[in-house]
Chain A
Amino acid sequence: MTRIRFQQSLEDLKENLLIMAGLAEQAIQRAIEAYRVRDLSICDLVTRSEVAINRMERDIDQAALDLLAMEQPMAIDLRFILSVIKINADLERVGDAAKSISDRVRLMDRMAVVDLPVDIPRMASLAADMVRKSLQSFIEADAELARGVLTLDDAVDQMNRAAFKALTKVMEEQSHLAPQALNALMICRSLERVGDHATNIAEDVVFWVQGADVRHHKSVAADAKAEAVGTAPAGAAPSQS
């Protein structure tokens, strides 16, 4: 096998991305745990890991840029490096979402604990599951597993919409619970974002492994309808597989 150094560099890139993925996944788990047990020391852990995640994002992007410039990668190698760059960005956002949740937990610490009509732990576990599965598909280069992740996003989105409805109702009818409700709402939004990022990661895995662009699959039908009616922007592109 030729280009041994290049192959090694690709392996190193993958490994570093997985380390970062591990940090991001861990951050989400910790943030959710902090919410569950209201433990501020765990929030500190999340804040600290944020620094590491940001630094890794820069390093991975730099390594990927070097490989593009120096090695003229082609076909699957090119797709791989492109995916790494995109997944890199999504993982950093996942880290941001974790921090956002832990910041909310800090704020909620000064508030009384109340019962709210949302099942944040369940939503959190769904989102975390999506992240885990998308990273698993990356480790194993499994496009089918990745495609499976795409379907899980609907559940999370639905839960978010339901939470929005329920919590706004709470804020309207029981205004003394507004601060807690608002925070819960923000946490739900962060979790919904985590689900979106996991979806992106899965789409990038499919692109890498199969060369197929499966992004924005949900919006194809919506775009088609909107175009027919004449309200969609002209540049909306349908997904290509």
Chain B
Amino acid sequence: MGVGIAVAGLNAWYGSNHTLQDINLNIPANRATALIGPSGCGKSTFVRCINRMHETNPIARVTGTIRIGDLDIYQDATPVEIRRRVGMVFQRPNPFPTMSIYDNVAAGLKLNGYSNRRSLDDIVEKSLKNSALWDEVKDELKKKSGASLSGGQQQRLCIARALAVDPEVLLMDEPASALDPVSTSKIEDLIFQLKSQYTIVIVTHNMQQAARVAEKTGFFLNGRMVEFDSTHKIFTNPSDKRTEDYITGRFG
């Protein structure tokens, strides 16, 4: 089951660059929340704060709180612990190239010491089914490498890999931007199904996609969150003129 995410007073810096300024929002549990905004507005940085991936950059710094459920992710846990509860799917599919499909999906578990063979088989199957990839690969799980699949399949493999560790939150950073329309539709359908079990945050520069999959949408601009409301409101009658200018394309 998913949990809600509460963000309060979040500020982020990359060196001296004040990338995120005073972000406050509540991301609802078991829903999909979309984050839109122009390039460089900070939405990707924001999402990477939620699983503390921005810390992999040595010049990154953060103040403020993010609570996932009851847990303050900066005070009460280490980055590694957080990342086991918050999964991430990246913009370009990045399966482990030297591993088979099976090993890719099981990677998160195996690398964390989990080794029960039968359970692994079950988990791999369940994850692949949850990411709508099982039928296409079930006969070649251990023979084919992760990198030999098509782009859309690779991305679904990455989703399966993220789901296998049973996170509560799934972060998706423009998951379909490198994919063709058919694969994109499959991923969107997937998000729809996954919502009931996970809290999903999806960064997208495709507004139609945000409109299709998310209940709530947040608009980021220059490191600030300008508006955060139901998707319906944002796309039919936004409150802030900047939001309207962006979504109608009058921007810039």
User: Complex Cα distance A199/B156, Å?
Assistant: 52
Query: B58 — which chain A residues lie within 8 A by C-beta?
Result: none
B249: Cβ under 8 A from any A Cβ: yes
Interface size class of A (residues with CB under 8 A): 10 to 19
> Are the CB atoms of A79 and B236 closer together than 8 Å?
yes
Binary flags per residue of B232-252, CB closer than 8 Å to A gives 1, else 0: 000111100000100111111
Cβ B247 vs Cβ A74 within 8 A: yes
What residues of A have a CB within 8 angstroms of the CB of B207 in the complex? 72, 74
Quick check: is B112 within 8 A (CB to CB) of the other chain? no
Within the complex, the shortest CB–CB distance from A198 to chain B, in Å, comes to 25
Stretch of A1-9, A45-53, A102-110, A229-237 lying at the B interface: A1-9
Asked if B235 and A75 make an inter-chain contact with CB atoms under 8 angstroms apart, the answer reads yes
Q: Which of B208, B244, B247, B250 contacts A1 (CB 8 A)?
A: B250
Taking the closest CB of chain B, its distance from the CB of A35, in whole angstroms, is 43
B236's contact among A2, A7, A211, by CB below 8 Å, is which? Answer: A211
| Most chain B CB inside 10 Å of its own CB: which residue of A1, A7, A73, A76 | A76
- Other-chain residue from B244, B251, B252 in contact with A75 (beta carbon distance below 8 A): B244
Within 8 Å CB of B247, what residues of A?
A: 74-75
Contact across chains for B248 and A211 when beta carbons are under 8 A apart: no
Q: Which of B208, B238, B244, B251 is in CB contact (< 8 Å) with A72?
A: B208
Bound complex: CA of A75 vs CA of B237, how far in Å? 5
On whether the beta carbons of B250 and A75 are closer than 8 Å, the reply is no
Complex Cα distance A2/B237, Å? 20
| Complex: chain A residue closest to B238, CB-CB | A75
Shortest A177–chain B CB gap in Å is 54
Instruction: Look across to chain A and name the residue whose beta carbon is closest to the beta carbon of B243.
Output: A75
- Interface positions of A (Cβ within 8 A of B): 1-3, 6-7, 72-79, 211
17 pairs of residues in contact across A and B, judged by CB atoms under 8 Å: A1-B252, A2-B251, A2-B252, A3-B249, A7-B250, A72-B208, A73-B248, A74-B207, A74-B235, A74-B248, A74-B249, A75-B236, A75-B247, A75-B248, A79-B236, A79-B237, A211-B237
Top 3 nearest A-B pairs by Cβ distance? A211-B237, A3-B249, A74-B247
